[in-house]
Structures are given as structure tokens and as C-alpha cells.
Structure 1
Amino acid sequence: MEHWTSRLEAGYQRYCGLLFGALALVMVACVLFVGQDVGLSNNGDFVRTMAASSLRFGNQLPSHTYVDTFQIVLPHPSAWQNVLSILFGGDGLANYPSLHVLPVRVSVVLSLVVNKLAGLPMDTYHLEVLGGMYTLLYAAGIGLLLSQFRLRRLWQDLLVKLAALVVLCDIGYVAYFNSLYGEALEHIALVYCAAMLVRVLTRQPTVWDGVWCALAAASYGWAKFFNIPVAILLVLVLEGIVLVRLGRRRVLAAGGAALALLLGVWAIVPGWMDVETNYNAVFYGIVRDVDEDTAKEYLSDLGLPEELSDYRDTNYYLGGLLESLEARGLRDAAESVTKLDLVRFYLTHPGRLWEQMQLTALHCGMIRPYYLANYGGDQPLMSYSQRMSLWSTARDALPFDTLAGNLAVPAAFTALAVLVWRRRLKPAHLALLLLALWGALGYCYGLPVMLNGEGDFAKHMFAFLELLDLLLLACLALALDRAGRGRPEGVLCPAVGGALALALLLPPAWDQAASLWQAGQAHSQLQPGSYVTLGNYGGQPLTWLVVGQEEDRFTLLCQDEAISLPFDEDGGNDWLGSTLRTWLNDGFLDGFSPDHLALLQAQDNTVLLPDHLRGQAQEGHLDFACTHIAVLADRGYDRAYRRQAQDTVTLPDIDLIATLARAGQDISGASYWLETPYCPSDALVRYAARDGHLYFGPAQVARVVRPVVQITGAELSGGNGSRAHPFLLSWAPAVFRLS
């Protein structure tokens, strides 16, 4: 038996990389290609990649749905001429000189081969071909990474490497493979960088290791221009380690070539990127959600005219923006800001920088962007896939949306690195390594909002999230591997790992306990936070939470999830014309007794309008922006296009939900409609989901309905106001003060 165990362990050690590479291949393939294909929809960024890769959309521009076929441009009569043009043509490269274009071009040629073999139209591009290429590269990278280390005990090694598969094969990462976003190649290159870093730290490196380090780091930076500074840092670190451990200056050639390449790419980054991102950094960042006086002060500090304060909370892609700036003679001024101006502003305004760092933390929980769909075909718009989403779900529930949560992982890794490597590395070398790590993390965390504002924030935090997840896996490996060893690190390393686990697990557990405690609290009078019973649906009484009070008028939000209806059966996203509004103010009230009907009061309802109905607005002058983060969701509400209406029953709107979230109220639940439209569309409506985030989806899909009413003149006739025993109400027309 021991003989076979030894042979199995030896085989595992020898073929570990192949085993986990194969597992990664199967897992990613299952996520992307089993059943209906999964990918990411286009947010507008596909255009620049397609223009450089002989692709176009064809008859229609897809919106809010995943599309896996595009049209190949074949201008030449000869097949070989077309292939050479696709692979080596210069069209579009000046506008987007990214390494990401290379695999896309190769996938276009492979699509031609697929079409020829399968008898399909030759001008059809199959996005799955690119996804398959990336899947193979990624599986090889994961196999390489996991073959570079082995923990002391077999069960520890298996646990860490299976955890790595769960994290790295999560849909939040691999859905990018079936898309034309550069994040796919960036992420694959980072895994190779991590593999090479582990290799040169744990083994005697060779000159070829130096070459592969340089290639991996250069690919990481060239895939996404934002990452070039981090890639330069990676080149210096990786080549420095190889040089110190190998002692051969020949490795400097590879490092020097990589640095020259990265600096050359940085020098030719197209100017339009700076113009767009710098505008967003100012108007969708620095003066985002500030009052007019503060906006004028900040703009003056940037050397910009105060009249531009009218454009706060706008981004560069807003329809009609450039025309408005041109008409007022302000476009040149608005586009005159440089990256140096932005950095100088934040260095001289530390208070605003601190606010932006706190805001950035809120965007660090979710890996995949909430505004990109995973499914296409006959699926409704903005349909998401839950395949292999265990880590995405867990990560979103952990406190990575706080500064403390994001600092806990690198702090723990720093402590573990000092404990484990203090004898292997010279103190100066270890300090430089950790300094480089913190520098890379600081850049990836702070620079997106500083240099691009909140534009495309979810995608721009991707580099930070992937670094943090790799560090978390490293913490798990180091803490487990040192457990039980005789030296001090045998106790201290598991202690650091345990402290990190507590730092990540206790906050959500505390929040859940606080929510349950709050729901179980008894009340002596009707007040915000108490529960009442009012009306019924389907023969069952409805429970409501008191969410607001103004004198003797109370606002109630239904807590039941029994009602499920479309927002509008015709697919419109305007509350005023929706079938749901009609039913709530008519048929829904059939379940209320005369006493309960007498309690209901007409509400002065502020209704935000979708962009296509802005001509009907009675107030406002701003397109309402969308975010998935509830506590930020109502920014710009008081300046958005809106009108007033009278309703007896409404839905929770974005203002109410944001107010409740900021007050610490749990706003999660089975996906339920909000009254607010997704303004850029004429068919999508906002809704709150079980994870506590706000999304948008098609109006004709049935979702939970949680009505909002206002009551006055109520008398308590039973219950204690807790969720389990809500107050019973009766109408008391002579009563003006509740007791």
C-alpha cells in the first residue's frame, strides 16, 4: 500500500502541471462553450479592435446582448491576399496599437478556415475561435503556475491548487475570453508573470527564464496600455531576481528589450485616449457629485473656466456633449487637461483624493462588469450566467468593497513574506520586492479614478482585482505550508492566515446578524424600522417595513416577494405609461379592506424619465447616470430629467433605495423592480437583486414587485412591530398622533 501511495505521490509531483492545466481547460471550456455560449456584450470598446482586425458588425449594432458572430471584411479577390491583409495590414493599428489585436487577427484567419471546412459563409467571424485560443493559452498558464510550487503535505497542496482553480476559472475572469476586450490577454499574461515570478524565486533560474519573464511582462503591459507602468515594474523585478540569482548579465538583454518595447508602445498611445480619459477624470471624477460652488473652485484650480461647472457629472460619451461644448466655445478648454494636471490636482487636494479612494473601494467587490451581458440569442437583454461563479459570489459578499478589506490581503502577504523569506533573501532585496508589490497595487487601485474618473469603472478596476486575488491565493499557500513547523513561522504564519480569514469573514457575518437583530426588534409605536401588516395578495396578508416618516405620514415598503409581474407588458421603461403602474393603482388595491384603503394617501411622486422622453421633463437638465452600488445610486437625482405625478401605489425608486442603503438597511432580495428606468435605453428598467446591487433588465420580464405606499391616520391594534409580529393597523380618522 505504501508503495502505491509513494508512486501516486511521485506521479502527482511529476505531472501536477499537466493535471491542473487539463482541469483548467475542462473548467473554462464548460463555462464558455457547454450549452449556450457565454461571453461578454459590447459596451462600445469592440469598435477599435474590430477596425484593426478586418471586422465589422454587419447589419446592426448589438446592444446589451452577447453576440458571437461578426462580419469579416474581405476586400481582395484572392484568399491569400485577404489572409495577408488580415494578418499584416496596417488599417486601424494607429488608432489602437495593442498586442490584443494580434490574437484577434489570428482568430479571424482561423475563422476563415472553419468556414471553409464547414461550408459556412466565408465572411462570418466566430468569436468562439478567439475564446478557444485564449482558453488553451490560459490552461497552459495555470498548469505552469501550479507546477512551480508544492506544499509540504499533499492535502495542503491539493487544497491550495483546487482553490486556485476555483478563483482563476471563475466566470468573472474567463467570460472575457469570448469578447474583444483586452482584459482577456492582460489576465492571461499576468498568470504567466505570476508563474515566472514563483519559478525564479523558488528555483535556480536560467537565461531562458529571463527571456520568458521579459515576454510575459511585456505582453501584460502591451495588452492594456494602462498597465504599462506596472509591466515596467514587473520587468525590473523579474529580471533583477534572475540577474541576482544567476549572476549572468546576459539576461539584461531580454529585460532591456522588454523595457524598450514597453516605452515605445507608451510613446505611441493614441492621443484620443488621453482626450477622452482626461475629460472623464475631471467631469466624471473630480467634479462628480459636488455642488456648483465646489465644482467652480476645483475647475479654477485646474486652470479651467468656471462655466464648465455646468458639465459636472457628464462623461465624454454623452450624446450631444461635444456639440454643446462647441456651441459655447468651451470644447478646447474642456479637452486641455493633461495627466500631469490631474496628478497635481490630487496631490494638492488630499481631502478629495481621500474621498475618491473611499469611492474606489466600493467598486472592488465585483469582478465582472454589471453592465455587460453574458448571454445572447433568444435570452432577454442583460442576461447573466451563474456558471462557475462561486468565487465571484463569495468575493462580492466579502468586505472587498472597503479600504480595510482591500488592505488586509497585501498586509497579510507582507507579514507572511517577511516570516518566510527573511532568511532566503537579503533584507534589501526583500524590501525592494515588497515595495514594488505595494507600488503596483497602489497604481492599480488609485490611478483609475484619478486618470479616468468613474468612466467604465468596473472594467478599470480589473487589474487591481486580479492582483489582489493572486495575493490571496499566495497567502493561503504560505499560511498552510508553514503550519506546524518548529520555527516561529510555524505558529506565526497560520496566525496571520487566521487573522486574514477573520478580517474577511467577520464583517459580512456581523452585517447579517445585525440585519436579523434589527428585524426582530419590538417597537412601542409606529416608526421607521417597524413592520406592519396591510392589505393582502392571493389571500395572504402583506408585510411592510416603515422606511420613512414625515409628521404623521409614514412611507411603507412591501417586504413580501409573492407578486411577480412585468414592469410593462409592451416593453416600455417609462413608469407613467407602464402596465404595472396601472395594476398597482387599481387591481392590486382589491386586496385591501375598506379600513386599510382609508389609510392610503396619494403620493407626490418624482418620476425620472428615460433619455428618449426628456422632452416631457418638467424639471432637470442632466442624463441620469447608472451605477450598481446602492449607496451611490442617486447621485445626480436632483438634476436629472424628471416630472411629477400623483400615485397611491408606487415602486421604490432609486432615491429611496439609496437612502435606505446609506442608513444601513438591507435592500437585497429576490430581484425586484425599481421605478427608475435605465435612462440610455427605452426598454430597460432598474432592479435590485439578492446581492444588494442594482442592475437593469428588460421591462417585459417578470420580476418581484415590492410596492410603496404612504399611510396616515393609523391606530395600532396588535403586534409588536417586529418582522415576526408586525403591527396590525386600523383606521382612526380622529387620531393624528400615533401611540
Structure 2
Amino acid sequence: MIKPQDMKHAFVRAYVVLEKYISPAALAAIGIAFILLIELFVPPYIGMADNGDFYRILYSNGLYFDLPDYDSQRLGYFVRTYGIFQYYNENNAMLWSSQTVFVRLSLWISQVLGYNERFDIRIQASLYSLLYIGAVYLLVKAATWRASRRMGYGIAAAAVFVFGDIAYVMYFNSFYSESIMLITLMYLFSAAMLLYQRQYNDYVLLFLFGASALILTTCKQQNAPIGLIIGLVAILFVFLRRERIFRLFASLQAVILILTAIGTYVLIPEEFVNINKYHAMTRGVLMTADNSEEALAFFGIDEQFSVLRGATYYDFLSPIPVDSEEMEKQFLDKYDFVSIARYYLSHPDSAGKIFETAARNAFYNRTKLGNYEKSAGKPFGTLTHAFAGYSYLKEKLVPKTSGFVVIWMVTIAGLYSPSFYRAVKARSLRRALRLPVILMMAASGLCAMAVAVIGAGDADLSKHEFLFVVVFDLVTFWVIADCLCRRLWGANVEQGDSHE
């Protein structure tokens, strides 16, 4: 029989070995790797069902739906395998996205491994998993800076609990761009904070920040305004060092990020613009207006279109065909996203309703899309509950109001303002960098929320607000880590500022 004293000694020895050989960052990476292995690569495999968007990225990249009953599995079942075009592929890209790079790289790996006729999405999940493990490692490396070993292990465990949640990792077994957004946001934020802390080579971190920002901006068209925010903050990096080559590199990067954000917006295909415009009116303006006819009059639209209140672009039966000339000339051409924003500004009641709707959906980590393959024998649309503890707690405990979002923002700005003020007074840009980076993240999250509701109403909000979900978790995790490590108000960078 094992005595309690023997168990205690065993735990002590294990902790000594852990402390000696495994850092908190490495422990977090191992924990995330374990969860990814269990959920994505061990039966029953967990992924996400197609909501109808997969075709946008599949056909142009050499893949196609090869299951006879694929349509019946949409929304409810995760599909793991897809056909690979063997000869000429006549499909052109419907939109350019950095996601294409990852899909084609995964397809190339599949063919190198000898899988030339069918593509198993777990190959893509493997690629994302490796990138994600690295991202979590860097995040925890930055979050445990100057923390005690014991505190560092606690922060690492918290990182695994939050970022190993199934609501995040299930995206890797899908063709949604949210998986790329998650990975690049984490790399971008970690790189910026490691620059602030001066833990690694500045040039390497600057490149990592820029590359992540470029991929994030171009993976989804609605991220264009976010890319602009990131590009403007990137200008601060120009003044981190005095070397001409560094400043040239940082300046060029900031310009490229800003131009990429503008180009991403300009190049949005007209079809997707019309879909979002349609939902912005039918699922946004008309649903929040007390009088639909008066709301349409604001845009100079005939009141007969009020019958579209609550309609979606994909409805099987529509009072007015969505692709008709009448719809285009008398409805869609009458407004744009600027005029919709102007409407909300002049109608605070409607604005309040739409943003309350956004806030209610902003803290849900899960979607209602099924997570299991049909062969697993689960009912249509079944969601997994494994490794979903953080999603459950967040759903139950976090207030889902726009007021809470405002309080969250103000609180964060207030917590970091004293150290920012001292850094500016000391003329140390590197020490002042932390607050702008955190505000960049928070502003990106709010921008994602605003773009979602102004640009598409309440259509598919749980996915459209995904970027806000990630930003909220990253920033909140960082603030708690700073508090636990007593870094919140301390001047933690004694060396390395703009006078290098």
C-alpha cells in the first residue's frame, strides 16, 4: 500500500524534475499538443460542419466535395475527406485569401505522402496544430516574463485551459479562416509583447509581427479595417532603435501593412459585398427599426422592400429575387456601409439594439455547427463537450452587454495608463509600447464587432465576431498575468528604448 508520505515525496521529486527541465512555456505547449492530439487525431475526430462557405476556398485550390450525400451533412456533420482534382481545374478563385497558402501547402503535403486522390483534412489540422503550439509557447513565454517558476506554471495551466478550449481547436479541422485568425493574432500579440520585453532579437520579432499582420489582414476581407489599425500602431516600431537599417525595415513594414489593408478592402468581390449589404439592411437596419418603411425612406428605398425584414440572401423563396435587376437597382444600389453607419449614428435606438445584439453574441465561444462525423453515430448537429470548460464558464459568468464591453475597455486603459505615463515622461518608447499594443488589440476587437453588425446585421454573428472573442481572451489573459506577476505598474524594462 502506498503511503501518503511516499506520494508526497514522489510529487516533490516530479516537481523538481519539471522545474529543472521544463519551462512554463514548454509546459503550456505540451498541454496544448496533448489536447490537439486527443481532439483532432484520435477517433471520434472532432471538427466543424460546413455552413455553406467551404466551396469558396475548396474548388479554386484543387479540392471538391466527393460525398454523394454531402449536402445533407451540411450544418450537422463534420466531413473529414474531400476529392482532389486529377486533371484540369477550371475553377477560378472567388476571392483572394491568405488561407489559400495554407490549403495548398496542406494539399502538397498530402500528395507528397502519396494521398493523390482524396484529401484528409487532418493534414491541414496537423499544419495548424504545429503553428498553434508555437504561438502558445511564445504567448506564455511573454506572459511569464520575470515571474517565479511556480507562478509561471500556474499561468501556463491557465493558458492551456483557455486556449486549449474546444471552441478554438475544433476550427483546425475545417475550412473556415477563423483558425488562421486565431493563430496569427496570437503570434502578432506575442511578438509585440516580446519586443516590449526585449526577450528575443528585435529584427526577428518585427518580422514575425509583420508577417502575422499581413496574413491576418488578407485571410478575410472584413479584417481590412483591423489591418489598418495594426499598420498605424506599427509606425511606433520605427522609433524603437536608432539603427538606420532597423528604421528602414520598420517603416517599410508599416507602409506595406497600411497599403495591404486598403487593397484588401478595395478588392472585395462584388458578390460578397452584395451579400453583406443585403444582410446589413434586412438583418440589421430593418430588424432594429420601429418602422421599416421610415427606415427605408432614409435611404431613398421604396417602402415595398419592407417585406424583406428578417430575410437572408440564401432563403429558398424570396418575395423579390435577390439576383434580379430590380433588387440591384432599386435596393442594393441605394445604400452602402457608410450610409448604414450614418443611419445608426442618427438613430441611437436602432444602434443600441444592434450593438446589444452584438454584445450578446460576443462572448459565445461555440457555434451551433455539428462537431462529429456522421460515422460516429451521433445525432445531427451534436456538439462535443470535451475540453469545453472555459467556454461554459465564460458563457455563464461574463455579462453579455455593450456596457460591459465599454467597462472592459476603460478598465484596461486605466490599469496601464500610469506605467505608460511614466515611460513617456522618461522618453522610453519601448517601455511605453505595452499600452498601445493592448489598445491596438482591443480596438481591433471592437472594430470586428462593429464591422460584423454594420456590415452584415445579425447574420452568423457567432462567427463574424470570432476575432473579438480571441482579442478578449488574449487581452484578459495578459492583464491577469501582469497582475499576478506584479508587472502592472512596474517599469519592467530597464534597458533598451528608443535611444539604443
Query: What is the TM-score normalised by the length of structure 2?
Result: 0.85
Q: Look up the match of 1:359.
A: 357
Q: Which has the higher contact order (CA 8 A, sep 6+)?
A: 2
Q: Look up the match of 2:443.
A: 439
Q: Which amino acid counterpart does residue 484 of structure 2 have in structure 1?
A: L
2:140–2:155 contact (8 Å) kept in structure 1: no
CA RMSD of aligned residues (A): 2.9
State percent identity of aligned pairs: 21
Classify 1:318/1:152 alpha carbon distance in 2 versus 1 (closer, same or farther; 3 Å): same
Partner Cα separation in structure 2 for residue 327 and residue 436 of structure 1:
42
Classify 1:226/1:183 alpha carbon distance in 2 versus 1 (closer, same or farther; 3 Å): same
Partner Cα separation in structure 1 for residue 160 and residue 214 of structure 2:
25
Q: 1:234 aligns with which of 224, 230, 233?
A: 230
Q: 1:457 aligns with which of 451, 456, 461?
A: 461
Q: Look up the match of 1:345.
A: 343
2:239–2:247 contact (8 Å) kept in structure 1: no
Classify 1:5/1:158 alpha carbon distance in 2 versus 1 (closer, same or farther; 3 Å): closer
The structure whose Rg is larger is 1
Q: Which amino acid counterpart does residue 50 of structure 2 have in structure 1?
A: N
The CA deviation string for residues 583-603 of structure 1, in whole angstroms up to 9 with x for no partner, is xxxxxxxxxxxxxxxxxxxxx
2:63–2:84 contact (8 Å) kept in structure 1: yes
The CA deviation string for residues 33-68 of structure 1, in whole angstroms up to 9 with x for no partner, is 222100000000101011221111122323221111
Pairwise CA distance, 1:460: 0.6
Partner Cα separation in structure 1 for residue 369 and residue 145 of structure 2:
39
Partner Cα separation in structure 2 for residue 27 and residue 326 of structure 1:
45
* Between structures 1 and 2, the one with greater helix share: 2
Classify 1:168/1:326 alpha carbon distance in 2 versus 1 (closer, same or farther; 3 Å): closer
Query: 1:377-456 maps to which residues of 2 (within 5 A)?
Result: 377=375, 378-426=377-425, 436-456=440-460
Q: Look up the match of 2:254.
A: 255
1:151–1:477 contact (8 Å) kept in structure 2: no
The CA deviation string for residues 673-699 of structure 1, in whole angstroms up to 9 with x for no partner, is xxxxxxxxxxxxxxxxxxxxxxxxxxx
Q: Look up the match of 2:92.
A: 92
Partner Cα separation in structure 1 for residue 232 and residue 264 of structure 2:
17
Partner Cα separation in structure 1 for residue 374 and residue 413 of structure 2:
43
Partner Cα separation in structure 2 for residue 56 and residue 8 of structure 1:
47
Pairwise CA distance, 1:112: 2.7
Does 254-263 or 38-47 show the bigger shift?
254-263
Q: Look up the match of 1:722.
A: none
1:142–1:191 contact (8 Å) kept in structure 2: yes
Pairwise CA distance, 1:155: 2.4
Partner Cα separation in structure 2 for residue 32 and residue 55 of structure 1:
21
Partner Cα separation in structure 1 for residue 458 and residue 114 of structure 2:
41
The 3-state SS of whatever aligns with 1:242 is helix
2:372–2:378 contact (8 Å) kept in structure 1: no
Partner Cα separation in structure 2 for residue 434 and residue 189 of structure 1:
16
Classify 1:191/1:432 alpha carbon distance in 2 versus 1 (closer, same or farther; 3 Å): closer
Q: Look up the match of 2:163.
A: 168
The 3-state SS of whatever aligns with 1:125 is strand
2:184–2:212 contact (8 Å) kept in structure 1: yes
Q: Look up the match of 1:25.
A: 33
The 3-state SS of whatever aligns with 1:71 is strand
Partner Cα separation in structure 1 for residue 485 and residue 405 of structure 2:
24
1:41–1:67 contact (8 Å) kept in structure 2: yes
Classify 1:434/1:172 alpha carbon distance in 2 versus 1 (closer, same or farther; 3 Å): closer
Partner Cα separation in structure 2 for residue 24 and residue 8 of structure 1:
17
Classify 1:287/1:175 alpha carbon distance in 2 versus 1 (closer, same or farther; 3 Å): same
Q: Look up the match of 1:332.
A: 329
Partner Cα separation in structure 2 for residue 419 and residue 175 of structure 1:
39
Q: Look up the match of 2:43.
A: 35
Classify 1:115/1:6 alpha carbon distance in 2 versus 1 (closer, same or farther; 3 Å): closer
Q: Look up the match of 1:45.
A: 53
Q: Look up the match of 1:157.
A: 152
The 3-state SS of whatever aligns with 1:70 is strand
Q: Look up the match of 2:486.
A: 482
Pairwise CA distance, 1:301: 0.3
Q: Look up the match of 1:716.
A: none
The CA deviation string for residues 420-444 of structure 1, in whole angstroms up to 9 with x for no partner, is 4443345995675565445323212
Query: What is the TM-score normalised by the length of structure 1?
Result: 0.59
Classify 1:410/1:153 alpha carbon distance in 2 versus 1 (closer, same or farther; 3 Å): farther
2:277–2:337 contact (8 Å) kept in structure 1: yes
The CA deviation string for residues 116-153 of structure 1, in whole angstroms up to 9 with x for no partner, is 4xxxxx42111111111111110111112212242432
The CA deviation string for residues 609-629 of structure 1, in whole angstroms up to 9 with x for no partner, is xxxxxxxxxxxxxxxxxxxxx
Corresponding residue pairs, total: 464
Pairwise CA distance, 1:289: 5.8
Any stretches of 5+ residues in structure 1 without a counterpart? 77-84, 117-121, 490-739
Q: Which amino acid counterpart does residue 229 of structure 2 have in structure 1?
A: L
